[in-house]
């Protein structure tokens, strides 16, 4: 149903943004066929990261050439084969991959309706540290831990915590009523997609109801806080830049 009288939950500001599934407009992207692509976060809004949602028809495909950008991909539902520089793996929902800058990757044989979230960012090399290699994983094999000791907020860190990586991608799961322990204000930027459940996100001086499918961008130093509401746990996948000196 269209939202009444042009109302929307979306907000795009200078320092944060919320985009809901009802706001989606497809982009045509080179190398993407038989799929829709919605660019939810990008340098066009002031971000240093791009967050893109790909939704595949059966027979769809994506082929991204080697470049300066590294790519993290997370299969939200469905399944597909992913190849990075010629090495492949079939990923199902919860599967993920990391393709380093300078390598090409391709997705093929998707199940109809497969949705993949991509985070892409130019790689910042660290002198004396070798760049990371490609990797594949599955969230079901990543151990979670209570966030700052709170069992109502479980954090899974999907990428290795090593100086070679200048980006982190994590999964947060909150029991209903679970929340971030305090209002965070930090130099790291976030791109985020709600995977399930609902809650309220505080972004700077505004509070937004959010639910599965919503995408959020938080610029560096955007004050942020989240509380899960409803009857089922709320889960989100998010990106953050890490491991690099501020200047």
Residue closer to ligand UGY (CB basis): 156 or 224: 224
From ligand UGY, Mn ion, none, interface partner of 172 (C-beta below 5 to 8 A by class): ligand UGY
**CB of 168 vs Mn ion, minimal distance in Å:** 10
CB-based contacts of 157, cutoff 8 Å, min separation 6:
142, 168, 170
Apex CA 54: angle with CA 53 and CA 60, to 5°?
Answer: 180
Could you give the string, one character per residue 53-92, with x where binding to ligand UGY holds by CB under 6 A and - elsewhere?
----------------------------------------
**CB of 180 vs Mn ion, minimal distance in Å:** 8
β-pair partners for 170? 157, 238
**CB of 219 vs ligand UGY, minimal distance in Å:** 12
Residue closer to ligand UGY (CB basis): 83 or 184: 184
Could you give the string, one character per residue 155-194, with x where binding to ligand UGY holds by CB under 6 A and - elsewhere?
-----------------x-------x---x-----x----
- Please work out the total of residues on this chain that contact ligand UGY, with binding judged by CB under 6 A: 7
Q: How far apart are CA 142 and CA 50, in angstroms?
A: 24
Site membership for ligand UGY, residue 240 (CB under 6 A) = yes
Q: How far apart are CA 81 and CA 99, in angstroms?
A: 14
Nearest to 61 by CA among 39, 92, 83: 83
Residue closer to ligand UGY (CB basis): 26 or 206: 206
Report the SS3 class of residue 22: helix
Q: How far apart are CA 105 and CA 24, in angstroms?
A: 25
């Amino acid at each position: 149903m269209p939202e009444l009288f042009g109302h929307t939950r979306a907000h795009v500001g200078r320092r944060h943004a919320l985009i809901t599934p009802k706001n989606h407009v497809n982009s045509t992207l080179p190398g993407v066929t038989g799929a829709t692509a919605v660019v939810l976060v990008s340098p066009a809004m002031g971000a240093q990261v791009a967050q893109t949602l790909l939704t595949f028809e059966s027979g769809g495909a994506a082929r991204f050439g080697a470049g300066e950008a590294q790519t993290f991909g997370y299969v939200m539902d469905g399944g597909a084969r992913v190849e990075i520089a010629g090495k492949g793996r079939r990923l199902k929902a919860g599967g993920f991959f990391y393709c380093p800058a300078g390598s090409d990757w391709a997705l093929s044989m998707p199940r109809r309706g497969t949705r993949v979230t991509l985070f892409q960012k130019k790689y910042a090399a660290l002198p004396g540290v070798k760049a990371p290699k490609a990797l594949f994983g599955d969230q079901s094999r990543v151990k979670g831990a209570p966030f700052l000791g709170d069992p109502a907020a479980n954090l899974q860190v999907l990428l290795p915590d090593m100086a070679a990586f200048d980006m982190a991608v994590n999964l947060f799961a909150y029991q209903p009523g679970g929340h971030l322990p305090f209002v965070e204000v930090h130099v790291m930027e976030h791109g985020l997609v709600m995977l399930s459940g609902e809650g309220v996100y505080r972004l700077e001086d505004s509070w937004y109801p959010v639910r599965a499918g919503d995408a959020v961008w938080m610029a560096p130093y955007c004050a942020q806080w989240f509380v899960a509401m409803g009857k089922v746990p709320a889960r989100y996948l998010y990106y953050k830049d890490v491991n690099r000196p501020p200047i």
